[in-house]
Structure 1
Amino acid sequence: MRELAERHGVHRRTVRQALASATPPPRKEYSPRGSAGDRAVEAGHRRVAARGPGRGP
């Protein structure tokens, strides 16, 4: 088992799991995130809203 792990560059636990089951474990689901540009625009909107009404740039 150690030799397989070293040959393939993975942990021994991964080799053990692969030998125990023909299908890999399900991957973790991540929630979709917006781009960095979207986050910057949102931050700008919050900054302008925090200044209050009637204030210029």
Structure 2
Amino acid sequence: MLLTREPMALAKRCFDRLALTPARLKGIADDVRQVCNLADPVGQVIDGGVTGQRPAS
């Protein structure tokens, strides 16, 4: 299969985005910890509506 430079460069960028290096894994873990530390908004009133409830149809 003959590939031109452009598809090869695109494939390389795609594979690079999938690579899980130690630095990327640490970043993912740090971001998950930040989300875990957020307050749970379910049941809070925001802008006149209660979160965690479906709007009336």
Q: In proportion to residue count, which structure has more helix?
A: 1
Larger Rg, first or second structure (1 or 2): 1
Query: Does TM-score exceed 0.5, indicating one fold?
Result: no
| TM score, norm. by length of structure 1 | 0.31
